[in-house]
Amino acid sequence: MKKIITINHEYGSGGRLIGKTLAEKLGLHFYDKELIALTAQKSGFTEEFVKEAAEKKTASLLYSLYMTSLPISDQLFLAQSQVIKELAAEGSCVIVGSCADYILREERCFKVFVHAPREVRLKRVKEEHDVQDHREFLHKQDKKRTAYYNYFTQNKWGNALDYTLTVDSQIGINTAAECIARAAEAFFA
Amino acid sequence: MKKIITINHEYGSGGRLIGKTLAEKLGLHFYDKELIALTAQKSGFTEEFVKEAAEKKTASLLYSLYMTSLPISDQLFLAQSQVIKELAAEGSCVIVGSCADYILREERCFKVFVHAPREVRLKRVKEEHDVQDHREFLHKQDKKRTAYYNYFTQNKWGNALDYTLTVDSQIGINTAAECIARAAEAFFA
């Protein structure tokens, strides 16, 4: 049976790493940045451009006024949705981010949400990012991610009812991946 | 190390059964209806009365007007809170419902939320309750439980960020208990 696992995660919660570990454990394809590259190719935008635009909710008003068609961010979301649907149609995989849970809502996916308290995530951000104000940086990432998700889906970011399993990553990356693997095994059995 | 696990659950999701299975697996005390009995003894109300009042948010306005002290429901909540704190102080346990997650917010608890789609819960309700309109019955239970939790805590019912782990019970009672046990083991290690 085809196994599609989607993972949404709070910035700095280690959700991407959990997804990667999980994919290795279950021998599944793993899509995250690869997804963006694929989207870029599909939409005709450059990979760099897609990366920057990926978490912006809408283009600026000024830019939009010049556009006669959909705003760039909406065009990108549509292109990305198409890529995600194609990947899911191809076979079992783990997809991190990109509202894949919502885009694949007609499929029977195992949906995961990973989170952690702000201070824990801040610690990870400090280790991984060279920015001036880490707290401000994290705050902005949180706002962007929540706004992006709530704008493009009809769900509300972090609502337990929308997920098969949600987990605080403080239990550990490997333990979280193990729990998800065990639960997904039963879900797809 | 003391292990306190709290479980909130949607009506008919099998959360109580998951809690019981989990407690057996880990060899922990299990509190649910027992809790109500203890509260009853403590507050001086009869067990029957407590049972009926336990999920009412507030007493009727008319009744409240006659009261010079706190409404009955608030008195009960305070008595129940006291019992839960005493149980948690005594040692490791699994506590289902009764806003234990919020009452014990100063303690390092493993917090669980169990849910399932309405149709799945409706099936369980039909098996277990002899009422005329099961759908209406479940709808009322959902409303009562959400209102009770949102009234007595500062959290919002079903918010993933408030829990260490949330799970859709469709993965199975035993699998859910196993996943929680595995995650709790790591959490308390």
pLDDT in tens, B71-102: 777 877 888 888 899 899 999 999 998 899 99
∠ at Cα B81 (B79, B85), nearest 5°? 120
A54 DSSP assignment: T
A161 in contact with chain B, both atoms CB, cutoff 8 A = yes
Split at pLDDT 50, 70, 90, the class of A46 is confident
Per the structure block, which two tokens stand in for B86?
A: 């005493």
The residue of B163, B171, B188 whose CB has the most chain A CBs within 10 angstroms, and thus the best one to mutate to test that interface, is B171
Mean pLDDT of A58-84: 69
B178 in contact with chain A, both atoms CB, cutoff 8 A = yes
pLDDT for the residue numbered A59: 52
Question: What ipTM was estimated for this complex?
Answer: 0.87
- Whether A179 and B175 lie within 8 Å, measured CB to CB: no
The whole-angstrom distance between A178's CA and the closest CA on chain B is 8
Chain B positions in Cβ-Cβ contact with residue A164 (cut-off 8 Å): 167-168, 170-171
pLDDT for the residue numbered A183: 98
- Whether A183 and B175 lie within 8 Å, measured CB to CB: yes
Mean pLDDT of B24-50: 79
Chain B positions in Cβ-Cβ contact with residue A175 (cut-off 8 Å): 182-183, 186
pLDDT for the residue numbered B58: 55
pLDDT in tens, B130-183: 999 999 999 999 999 999 999 999 999 999 999 999 999 999 999 999 999 999
Per-residue pLDDT at B14 exceeds 60: yes
Scored b (16 or more CB within 10 A) or e, B29-47 reads ebbbeebbebbbebbebee
Question: Which of A167-181, B2-16, B40-54, B58-72 is the least confident region?
Answer: B58-72
Query: What is the bridge-based pairing of β-strands A165-168 and B165-168?
Result: antiparallel
Split at pLDDT 50, 70, 90, the class of B37 is low
Contact by Cβ (8 Å): A35, A95: yes
A164 in contact with chain B, both atoms CB, cutoff 8 A = yes
B115 in contact with chain A, both atoms CB, cutoff 8 A = yes
C-beta atoms surrounding B143 within 10 Å:
12
Mean pLDDT of A177-189: 97
- Whether A175 and B168 lie within 8 Å, measured CB to CB: no
pLDDT for the residue numbered A175: 98
Per-residue pLDDT at A35 exceeds 70: yes
Nearest to B115 among A160, A167, A186 (CB): A160
pLDDT for the residue numbered A118: 96
Between A8 and A48, the more confident residue is A8
A156 in contact with chain B, both atoms CB, cutoff 8 A = no
Between A1 and A158, the more confident residue is A158
Nearest to B183 among A164, A179, A187 (CB): A179
Chain B positions in Cβ-Cβ contact with residue A158 (cut-off 8 Å): 159-161
Question: Which of A61-70, A72-81, A100-109, B8-17 is the least confident region?
Answer: A61-70
Nearest to A164 among B113, B168, B183 (CB): B168
pLDDT > 70: percent of chain A: 86
Closest alpha carbon within chain A to B186: A171
pLDDT in tens, A99-158: 999 999 999 999 999 999 999 999 999 999 899 999 999 999 999 999 999 999 999 999
pLDDT > 90: percent of chain B: 68
What is the pTM for the complete model shown?
Answer: 0.88
Looking at every residue in chain B, the average pLDDT score rounds to: 88
DSSP string over B26-91: HT-EEESHHHHHHHHHHHS--HHHHHHHTT-SS--HHHHHH-SSS-HHHHHHHHHHHHHHHHHHH-
Nearest to A115 by CA among A158, A174, A144: A158
